[in-house]
Amino acid sequence: MPKKYSIAGSAAPPRFQPVGKFVIERNEDECIHCGRCTLVCLHDVHKRRGDDPRFISEPVNYLCKGCFRCIQECPKEALTIKNNEEWLLLGDSYWTPETFGKIWYQAETGSIPVSGTGYTGPFSGEGFDSMWTDMSEIVRPTRDGIHGREYISTSVYIGRKAQMLTFDNKGKIKSPLPPTLSIPIPLIFDIIPFRFSKNVYESLVKAASFLGTFMIIDLDEWFNSKYQANLVPFFANLSKKMNQKLMFPEFEGVIKKCKMVEIAYDLEVLKVVEEIKRLKNEMIVSVRIPFGDSTNKIVEELAFAGVEVLHLCADVNGKVISSSDKNRFVKDGILDAHRLLVEHKIRDEVTLMLSGGIAMAEHVAKAIICGADVTAVDLPLLIALECRYCKRCQNGLSCPVELKALNSDYGAQRIINLMRAWRNQLLEVLGAMGLRDVRRLRGEVGRAILHEDIRHETFEKILRSEGVTNNIKSSN
């Protein structure tokens, strides 16, 4: 059994007041500073002023849970509550305000989000929200990993698996083992969508190194640091440069230093792979393929040619790039690729990595169920650093959370906290399904409840029996 892996968290409170869901307004003309609100609020929103305790200070809005208690108890009806406009404007339809709130909470505390009185969101949605994961009971056992009574492994391998072992007559392994890397969580850090100052990259790579995973990084951002062992340099346009004999002198140096590289897909990608393997045979090469209509063809071609890691990437919202069907979601894309490789009986010779749209812990589990070996995250890492995804930095404007001034140790801690919470949630999903190893989750579509299927099996069957196709407009 491998050494028990666990991630230690430690509180990392936000540097800026996060955007909260509610705004509490105190009408200063009405308020008599009686302090009732400071007593009734269970979440420390209302406090007396430190410098002058005769007065009540501005409400700390982001802590408010919207329980209405202070509103009702204030003797002067001086308080009102409303939805925070700024909250509603956070992110977009995929990166919802709730997602931000949850990531911030996890990055601060390292704990998994827990709440009472049931689920509050929509019945189902698109993409990852159109499936549920299974659980075991009575007729098959579950695992209790959450409370640490049984160890559940979350580690995965990157690289090719040996199809079989051959032994010499002394019982030693004879067949050469293909190069593999092992990471303790099925997550690596992807290229982040915006360009940043060095301290941000440093936060990321410190976290990656602490966790024992890798971080893919644009070659331009490749920097000499003591964390190089955890970096995976990404090369774009490598084949063009090779054809024009423009190979830059550092190329060999970079190759020598790292265990894994990633290159962008193009028609001559195999030549590049060959060149890299010539320089360093035990190098793990990943090819970054944008999800699109021809993904399956590419996957087939590269897998048969012996490329060990195929990184399929969707856009930041998990939608496929360059496809005739704009709404195709990455989970369906990975499912197709996985099934194709299974059909060809070469599934275990490649590692499938998925990125794009991984916003919450459950997405990791669901991507794996749909056939990914590893997932790569991007935006949540930034959000953990308090980024609001306002894209001001992309337009040369100032960053509301001043990421330039971020201390990289603190930043790393926030990311570690987030990953800790994600891993623990993955353990919950695995435990509920009765699995003790995340690798057994891969491609277990039979243990997923797909919305289309279950609806077809139940609602559609029974509602159709009457030929009901009424399109009654509902009131929502």
Judged by CB under 6 A, the stretch of 85-93, 250-258, 289-297, 392-400 that binds ligand SF4 is 392-400
Contact of 57 with 26, CB cutoff 8 Å: no
Q: Identify the CA nearest to 408 among candidates 200, 197, 211, 216.
A: 200
Contact of 317 with 341, CB cutoff 8 Å: no
* Residue 78 touching ligand SF4 (CB under 6 A): yes
- Distance between CA atoms of residues 266 and 271, nearest Å: 10
| Longest Cα separation, the chain | 92
Q: Which of 36, 160, 328, 347 binds ligand SF4 (CB under 6 A)?
A: 36
Nearest to ligand SF4 of 89, 305 (CB atom):
89
- Distance between CA atoms of residues 417 and 183, nearest Å: 18
Q: What residues form DSSP beta bridges with 377?
A: 189
For the CA atoms of 195, 197, 199, 201, the dihedral, rounded to the nearest 10 degrees, stands at 20
Restricting to residues 266-325, which ones interact with ligand SF4 according to CB under 6 A? none
- Which string of x and - marks every residue 175-194 that binds ligand SF4 (by CB under 6 A)? -------------------x
Burial class (CB in 10 A: 0-12, 13-18, 19+), 94: middle
- Distance between CA atoms of residues 310 and 288, nearest Å: 6
- Distance between CA atoms of residues 371 and 353, nearest Å: 9
193-220 per-residue burial string, b: 16 or more CB within 10 A, e: under 16: eeebeebbbbbbbbbbbbbebbbbbebe
Extended strands (E) in 117-212: 131-133, 156-159, 180-183, 187-189
Q: Choose among ligand SF4, another protein, none what residue 432 binds, the Cβ cut-off being 5 to 8 Å by kind.
A: another protein
The angle at the Cα of 446, spanning 185 to 367, to the nearest 5 degrees, equals 35
Nearest to ligand SF4 of 64, 208 (CB atom):
64
Q: Which of 5, 14, 43, 228 binds ligand SF4 (CB under 6 A)?
A: 43
Minimum CB distance to another protein, residue 327 (Å): 10
Contact of 35 with 62, CB cutoff 8 Å: no
Restricting to residues 7-26, which ones interact with ligand SF4 according to CB under 6 A? 24, 26
Extended strands (E) in 160-219: 180-183, 187-189, 215-218
- Distance between CA atoms of residues 372 and 216, nearest Å: 17
Q: Choose among another protein, ligand SF4, none what residue 433 binds, the Cβ cut-off being 5 to 8 Å by kind.
A: another protein
- Distance between CA atoms of residues 353 and 426, nearest Å: 17
Tokens of 23: 């705004």
Q: Choose among another protein, ligand SF4, none what residue 462 binds, the Cβ cut-off being 5 to 8 Å by kind.
A: another protein
* Residue 294 touching another protein (CB under 8 A): no
Q: Which of 338, 366, 388, 414 binds ligand SF4 (CB under 6 A)?
A: 388
Q: Which of 15, 389, 445, 447 binds ligand SF4 (CB under 6 A)?
A: 389
Judged by CB under 6 A, the stretch of 13-21, 162-170, 393-401, 465-473 that binds ligand SF4 is 393-401
Q: Which of 8, 29, 51, 114 binds another protein (CB under 8 A)?
A: 114
Q: Which of 14, 35, 40, 178 binds another protein (CB under 8 A)?
A: 40
* Residue 437 touching another protein (CB under 8 A): no
Contact of 272 with 239, CB cutoff 8 Å: yes
Nearest to ligand SF4 of 219, 393 (CB atom):
393
Contact of 64 with 20, CB cutoff 8 Å: yes
* Residue 384 touching ligand SF4 (CB under 6 A): no
Nearest to another protein of 398, 470 (CB atom):
470
- Which string of x and - marks every residue 233-272 that binds ligand SF4 (by CB under 6 A)? ----------------------------------------
Judged by CB under 6 A, the stretch of 107-115, 341-349, 395-403, 455-463 that binds ligand SF4 is 395-403
Listing DSSP states for 266-282 in one string gives -TTHHHHHHHHHHH-TT
Restricting to residues 357-396, which ones interact with another protein according to CB under 8 A? 360-362, 365-366
Nearest to another protein of 146, 255 (CB atom):
146
* Residue 414 touching ligand SF4 (CB under 6 A): no
* Residue 139 touching another protein (CB under 8 A): yes
Instruction: Give the residues lining the site for ligand SF4 (CB under 6 A).
Output: 24, 26, 31-37, 40-41, 43, 45, 56, 64-70, 74-76, 78-79, 81, 194, 387-393, 399-401, 403
